[in-house]
Each structure stands twice: as C-alpha cells, then as structure tokens.
Amino acid sequence: MNRYLKQLIELSQIDKEIDSFKPKIEAINKELNSILKKERDLIAKKEGLLEEKKDNKLKIRQHELHITELSDKLKEISKKSAAVKTDKEAKALQLEEDITKEQLDFANEEIQRLQKVNEIKDELILEVEEELKEISKVVEETKKEIEQKLANVEKQREEFYAKREKLLSKINQKILEFYQKVRKWAGNTTVVPVKKQACYGCFMRINDKTFAAVIKSEDIVTCPHCGRILYVEEIEKEE
C-alpha cells in the first residue's frame, strides 16, 4: 500500500478518536449536572417552604392586630351598654357585640389553623434538609469521581494528540493539506473503505477503473462521486 495512504488512514483514525472525546467528556459532566440539578431543586423547595411560612406568619400577625382591635371594640361596647337608654340601642349594641365576638372567634381559629400549617411546613423543611444533606454528600463524591474520570480521559486524549503530532511530522505537507481540505466537509469520513465496490462515505458504487486503482493502492484515489479518500481493507482485497 502507498505509504501516504497508510499514513492518512492512521491519521483519520486518530482524528476520529480525538473527536470521540468531546461526547465522552459531555457524558461525564452530564452525570454531575443531573445531581446538581436535584440539589438546586431541593434548595428551591426549601426556599419556597420558608417563603410560605413567612407569609403565614405575616397573616398571623395581621390577625393578632385585628384581635387587639376587636378586644378594644368589645370594651367600648361594654362601656356603651352601661349607658344605653332604649331597647333599640341595647339591641343594636348586642348585635354589634355578637358580630365582634364572631370576628374574634374567626381570627383565633385562623391563627390556630395557620400555626398548624406552619408546623407541617417545619416538618417538610426538616425532611428537605435531610435530603439536602444526603445529596450534598453524593455531590461531593460525584465531583471526586468525575475529576478522576476526566483526568483519565484527558490523559488518553493527550496520548492521541502525541501520536498525531508524531504522525504529522512524517506526513508529506501536500498530502496533509489535501486531507485537511476534504476533512473540512467530510469530518470523520474523510478516509473511507470501499466495500462491495461502493464508497463507504457516500455509499455510491464506484466504476471498475477507480475500483481497480483503489485495490492497487499505489496512489491516493478519491471517490468520483463525493471526493472522499478511498482504501480497501485487506479482507475485501482477498474476495
């Protein structure tokens, strides 16, 4: 086989390997991101509960203020009732007193209800805090694992870069430029095998003359349809 072609096949394989690291790194980071998202969601849940609790406390405070007002009003009514002159006045005062007491009852009930709601929220907050503690541990562990995994991947990638550098120093500059020109649009299918007399880049059948040239592999042959660099695998040659 042509020495240049051999080098290009090797280079294309190395380039493909180097390209495969990006999705590998993304997959590793995705692992951490999904756990971090869970952590963020829990923090948001806790903040939501605290916010609701705060709102309820504010409502309780308003009810308490209202109770003070209502109590004052009741005192007022009792003062007035001591000085009533007519039945009509007495009845009107009585009605006012009843309404005020109802309002008092309602305010007290609301305070109790809201306090109970907040107690439940406290329990939920404790649960979320427990979950957060657990997940923080997982986050720390995962970060360590991922650091290790990324370091390994980086090491592998460096090895391929080194191989590539070594190979590039040996490759003819014109041939390399040609390869890079095709690679711009063909990416990892710049150098493709011919199988069953078809280009494995565009999957079109190649003519007998080109096929014969590819089998001979004395020169660098490109696909007449797509322009990719072609080679024949040893097994294919025997057939």
Contact residues: Zn ion, CB under 5 A = 199, 201-202, 223, 225-226
d(CA 128, CA 59): 24
Q: Which is nearer to Zn ion, 70 or 214 (CB)?
A: 214
CB of 213 to Zn ion, least distance (A): 14
Tokens of 237: 């040659």
CB of 140 to Zn ion, least distance (A): 51
CB of 174 to Zn ion, least distance (A): 22
Q: Based on C-alpha coordinates, what's the Rg of the chain?
A: 40
d(CA 168, CA 157): 16
Helix axes 3-82, 173-186, angle to 10 degrees: 40
CB of 215 to Zn ion, least distance (A): 16
3-class secondary-structure state, position 193: strand
d(CA 106, CA 116): 15
Q: Which is nearer to Zn ion, 124 or 198 (CB)?
A: 198
CB of 204 to Zn ion, least distance (A): 5
CA distances from 18 to 33, 80, 117, 134, 229 (A): 24, 93, 58, 37, 20
Count of C-beta atoms within a 10 Å radius of residue 3? 11
Q: Which is nearer to Zn ion, 12 or 118 (CB)?
A: 12
Q: In 71-228, which ranges are E strands?
A: 191-195, 198-199, 221-222
Q: Which is nearer to Zn ion, 111 or 220 (CB)?
A: 220
Q: Which is nearer to Zn ion, 12 or 56 (CB)?
A: 12
Q: Which is nearer to Zn ion, 84 or 226 (CB)?
A: 226
CB of 21 to Zn ion, least distance (A): 27
84 secondary structure, DSSP code: -
End-to-end alpha carbon distance in the chain: 17
